[in-house]
A and B are shown apart, each in its own frame.
Chain A
Amino acid sequence: MCKTELIDLSTVDVILISNYHCMMALPYITEHTGFTGTVYATEPTVQIGRLLMEELVNFIERVPKAQSASLWKNKDIQRLLPSPLKDAVEVSTWRRCYTMQEVNSALSKIQLVGYSQKIELFGAVQVTPLSSGYALGSSNWIIQSHYEKVSYVSGSSLLTTHPQPMDQASLKNSDVLVLTGLTQIPTANPDGMVGEFCSNLALTVRNGGNVLVPCYPSGVIYDLLECLYQYIDSAGLSSVPLYFISPVANSSLEFSQIFAEWLCHNKQSKVYLPEPPFPHAELIQTNKLKHYPSIHGDFSNDFRQPCVVFTGHPSLRFGDVVHFMELWGKSSLNTVIFTEPDFSYLEALAPYQPLAMKCIYCPIDTRLNFIQVSKLLKEVQPLHVVCPEQYTQPPPAQSHRMDLMIDCQPPAMSYRRAEVLALPFKRRYEKIEIMPELADSLVPMEIKPGISLATVSAVLHTKDNKHLLQPPPRPAQPTSGKKRKRVSDDVPDCKVLKPLLSGSIPVEQFVQTLEKHGFSDIKVEDTAKGHIVLLQEAETLIQIEEDSTHIICDNDEMLRVRLRDLVLKFLQKF
């Protein structure tokens, strides 16, 4: 669950969702925290996310609790409890599961977006979802202004499964790449695991046992069904029924077939035929795969053993899977195969011990492993990498495996839970547009070869964080003198800025210029830092130094302006 004390959620403008697994806490934020911002996600993320939440709510609501204990949350009591309760963090912030009403309300706040869609946020930054290759509609996000680019890479896969491949090219030129959602099981090869899954399943069924696959209702299950579709005939198992039991089983299977645009190329081209992209359509048509909302009703009539059952919840703590654990746990003919990597299978099984049934652990996690990460980082070359602390050191259980950590140059910056990390770049520039009329009036001068300068005096217009420079207004015509003018009307607006000056004044040439313009009786004195030019007749003194000129004269505006213009001839304006 999100830790919320750190930030006031009502001040959050935007939430970007990476994939359907990453949105399970959304109702807790959008409802009851004062959050009024916008949530962005792709359509498959929202639709499948809804299914996952619906299943969760349904499972929880099947076992209503008349009352819930809360006294144990007292710190003094909690520390006396056995682990894992003892070690649980922030128990005071634990909440009841949300309701379907809250889910619907939360999802209604989501704006649907497509891959590579550029979304303007308040005119200040642009966000873009990119295909991350991990799940249907899963995204990485680019957050960029005109001069800075931050990539958020979460839950990505380079393997070819059903989703559209990961878009790596668009991640290039990032100032900062935030990297998270790597594989939970860096040592397991997903392809090998699928093979093991199939062979164990076949072995059990051939011996007359049943196979239980605790799983989420969407995601890897599509790939497993596809493998079985190819495998069961060759393994002579075509008569073994496959059951998929979930309140959202039907929806999940149907939805998977309509997101052609979010699928890998192979599946996309099937739709052009037109054929359903996933072969589970055929499994359903040929009655090999059957789906049910729960074990009650139709399922109890159709139920035949031996069989394969896909059902949730993969934690084994609630949902129909509990029933099958009780039913099949006592026989060593049966097998439970763990494929979801999110839960420790030993912990999941603990309350069911002692068990006679076989337990196979085939975690299938297609997300990036450390070898793929270093390949990816080499490819996209971010200036800085930011990641959770645990990725910067080997896993505690395998502390000698130096290959199981992120290795990059400069070293990744790490963050911890509830820690604020300043990103290592300074914003220096912002985009501004110069109106064509103003651009026409600029006079560039070449200062050095290839570098030109132009001084700009313009009116700044800022609207919706977009900046525009317009030509300065023409000086207002003096109003007709009927009205009596007050002195203060003439006070100049001191905000009309004059340019800075640069350069130096060569005394001899300056004196020559003065003479050319009719000044006579000029005397030049040397000083420590420069010269003093005296115009004795005009009682005027001009101090000239390397970086400064000081004109001291009587209050004779004409004279002062003449001298000023002569001085300015030698200087550059900025």
Chain B
Amino acid sequence: MPEIRVTPLGAGQDVGRSCILVSIAGKNVMLDCGMHMGFNDDRRFPDFSYITQNGRLTDFLDCVIISHFHLDHCGALPYFSEMVGYDGPIYMTHPTQAICPILLEDYRKIAVDKKGEANFFTSQMIKDCMKKVVAVHLHQTVQVDDELEIKAYYAGHVLGAAMFQIKVGSESVVYTGDYNMTPDRHLGAAWIDKCRPNLLITESTYATTIRDSKRCRERDFLKKVHETVERGGKVLIPVFALGRAQELCILLETFWERMNLKVPIYFSTGLTEKANHYYKLFIPWTNQKIRKTFVQRNMFEFKHIKAFDRAFADNPGPMVVFATPGMLHAGQSLQIFRKWAGNEKNMVIMPGYCVQGTVGHKILSGQRKLEMEGRQVLEVKMQVEYMSFSAHADAKGIMQLVGQAEPESVLLVHGEAKKMEFLKQKIEQELRVSCYMPANGETVTLPTSLSIPVGISLGLLKQEMAQGLLPEAKKPRLLHGTLIMKDSNFRLVSSEQALKELGLAEHQLRFTCRVHLHDTRKEQETALRVYSHLKSILKDHCVQHLPDGSVTVESILIQAAAPSEDPGTKVLLVSWTYQDEELGSFLTSLLKKGLPQALS
């Protein structure tokens, strides 16, 4: 029995270091290669030794697919390809290919230069790793080899995020990566066609949440920012350089313009400025409104938002600062947070999900005394707000996507076990689709049933289809043919054609049965009586009385003869071929019962 096997190496009942191994029809594909932001030890990368104990990864894996540029989906890639060793193809979309190395370099700098980690991947390794990348277009069918093909679908979430269909023959798996089912201020909504995969592997970050309308959240956000700056406070918004940052900038920019506000908005420098450039050049990946109006006004050219300088953090008076990274686990956002945390006038707004172990996660779960490096304790007096701006599908969106793709089964990753449990039940009950949620290292095996594709001769098919159009087509009818198997070439042809192709002659088997009847009339009259009798019974069949006196029912021939010795008996000769056996044998037994006495 063919089967599909799925093993999460990361993101199994967890958020972080997404990495899922899929085996389908003898092909092995690794989906994403992420890092975990909650750990600084070995656990931050997936355990690649699981894949093969003592073989090369390149020999085992047919390809690697990266869904989008977030580090929890691509952060381990240089480690995997350059340090563990993988030389096969790595597929990702163009924007991901453009942005991914920049985020990796940024991550490397924080790890090595700031935290002083040794044995980390180098800049050169990032470059070498990116050389193995093959960029894909949306909806392009990429032939990895003769059998394995992959296809990317738009996923929203961040610039260039994609869902991937992995297909071998008639078996397929769809991996969603992270996705968003509602368009936001800069990206469109995820979309997939009814591709009916055997398995849909979906993220489930917001498995239990059904979020209110985006407008309310936006209004809420603007109100909080506005109130804080009105009373002279400073607002810190920790973001990742690409994604939410652009959405919130567009939001604040339009608000500032409308309200004619003068309070400065800053963007932590470097990455983010560059990031806006990417958005400008990859306009076709943004939402419809931006695409339509970009010639008149490029939404990613901000008037009110200025580059941030470290010294500005100590400036008096209100300001709004977007700073990276988004989970307050390192870098500039953490520095600014430490400076401003002590003042209750200030506010930090966390616009996205925070992984366990990060400062962001701690303050969101209510912790107000944080132990920092060097046993310092930081007291958090500033207001802490959480706003779910992360562009993940909520429970409703996940259900919607499952409905769109119509998979045979669903497998949940990238979420917390408890929440997954709830969604799993919901999917099984409401959509009647089996659902799995393996932990890391746990393998799910799905048997698949494989249809066998063969070529059918057009003549045979057309003949069958033509009959299918007849009114009596309601009855199940049998198609009869011969399957010729030569090497791996399978063809279904009519039996006549099979005989002809193989140079064989048909052998005709014919039966003729004598049926004795008591009838004193002449042969012709007997034949006529037989005709009327059969005609009245066999309504669905073609019964004919031929000029030579014989009667036919379909291709069965009935002739009446008079044996010379007995004028009171007539012999009916019923003759048919093996192919008409049922009807022929039925007719003889019918005629044996005799003809009705009176002519009707």
Contact = CB atoms under 8 A, between A and B. Distances in A.
Contacts of B582: 492-494, 496
Contacts of A551: 509-512
Given A260-B281, A467-B456, A574-B482, A487 B537 contact: yes
A574 B495 contact: yes
A460 B508 contact: no
Nearest to A431: B453
A271 interface: yes
Contacts of A453: 482-485, 498, 502
B560 interface: no
B578 A564 contact: yes
Interface stretch (A199-207, A222-230, A353-361, A497-505): A497-505
Contacts of A276: 281
A433 to B, nearest CB: 4
Q: Could you tell me the dominant secondary structure of chain A's interface residues?
A: mixed
B85 interface: no
A432 B507 contact: no
A487 B590 contact: yes
B478 A431 contact: no
Most B CB atoms within 10 A — which of A250, A427, A434, A496? A434
A371 B583 CA distance: 68
B478 A458 contact: yes
Contacts of B538: 488, 491
Interface stretch (A81-89, A209-217, A339-347, A439-447): A439-447
B76 interface: no
B479 interface: yes
B98 interface: yes
B187 to A, nearest CB: 15
B579 A274 contact: no
Contacts of A302: none
Interface residues of A, number: 93
B266 to A, nearest CB: 21
Nearest to B510: A550
Nearest to A258: B283
B282 A258 contact: yes
A283 interface: no
A456 B480 contact: yes
Nearest to A553: B513
Contacts of A493: 475, 582
Interface string A276-290: 110000000000000
A448 interface: yes
Given A260-B94, A500-B496, A555-B588, A428 B479 contact: no
A194 to B, nearest CB: 26
Given A260-B94, A429-B456, A444 B485 contact: yes
A147 interface: yes
Interface stretch (B42-50, B212-220, B444-452, B519-527): B444-452
Contacts of A114: 137-140
A417 B274 CA distance: 54
Contacts of A250: 295
B481 interface: yes
Interface in A412-463: 427-436, 439, 442, 444, 447-448, 450-460, 462
A430 B505 contact: no
B141 A117 contact: yes
Contact of A272 (B97, B141, B170, B451): B97
B146 interface: no
Interface in B284-322: 284, 294-295
B40 interface: no
A132 to B, nearest CB: 15
Contacts of B295: 250-251, 254-255
A450 B487 CA distance: 7
Interface string A16-55: 0000000000000000000000000001000000000000
A490 interface: yes
Contacts of A454: 482-483, 485
Most A CB atoms within 10 A — which of B278, B515, B578? B578
Nearest to B555: A494
A491 B540 contact: yes
A257 interface: yes
B498 A113 contact: no
B457 A429 contact: yes
Given A430-B458, A451-B502, A499-B495, A261 B137 contact: yes
Interface string B384-400: 00000000000000000
B514 A555 contact: yes
B67 to A, nearest CB: 17
B268 to A, nearest CB: 18
A79 interface: no
A116 interface: yes
A257 B284 CA distance: 11
Given A251-B295, A434-B451, A457 B140 contact: no
B589 to A, nearest CB: 7
Contacts of B491: 429
Contacts of B257: none
A133 B509 CA distance: 64
Contacts of A504: 507
Contacts of B504: 502-503, 572
Interface string B532-546: 000001111100000
Given A115-B137, A494-B582, A548 B509 contact: yes
Interface string A510-527: 000000000000000000
A258 B482 contact: no
Contacts of A156: none
A503 to B, nearest CB: 6
Contact of B281 (A258, A428, A429, A553): A258
A316 to B, nearest CB: 28
A503 B507 contact: yes
A337 to B, nearest CB: 28
A442 B480 CA distance: 13
B62 to A, nearest CB: 19
B418 interface: no
Question: Which 7 residue pairs of A and B lie closest in terms of their CB atoms, listed nearest first?
Answer: A429-B455, A492-B582, A433-B451, A497-B480, A574-B495, A500-B495, A432-B456
14 contacts: A147-B455, A274-B281, A430-B456, A432-B492, A444-B483, A459-B477, A459-B478, A499-B495, A500-B506, A548-B509, A549-B508, A555-B514, A567-B509, A568-B509
Given A491-B538, A564-B511, A567-B509, 20 more contacts: A117-B141, A146-B455, A250-B295, A258-B280, A259-B284, A261-B135, A429-B455, A432-B456, A433-B454, A434-B454, A436-B451, A450-B487, A451-B484, A453-B498, A459-B479, A460-B468, A490-B586, A491-B537, A495-B478, A547-B506
Interface of B: 94, 97-98, 135, 137-142, 151, 170, 274, 277-278, 280-284, 294-295, 449-458, 461, 464-465, 467-468, 475-487, 491-492, 495-496, 498-499, 502, 504-516, 537-541, 554, 574, 578-583, 585-586, 588-590, 592
Interface of A: 43, 113-118, 128, 146-147, 250-251, 254-255, 257-261, 268, 271-272, 274, 276-277, 427-436, 439, 442, 444, 447-448, 450-460, 462, 467-469, 472-473, 487-488, 490-505, 546-555, 557, 560, 564, 567-568, 571-572, 574
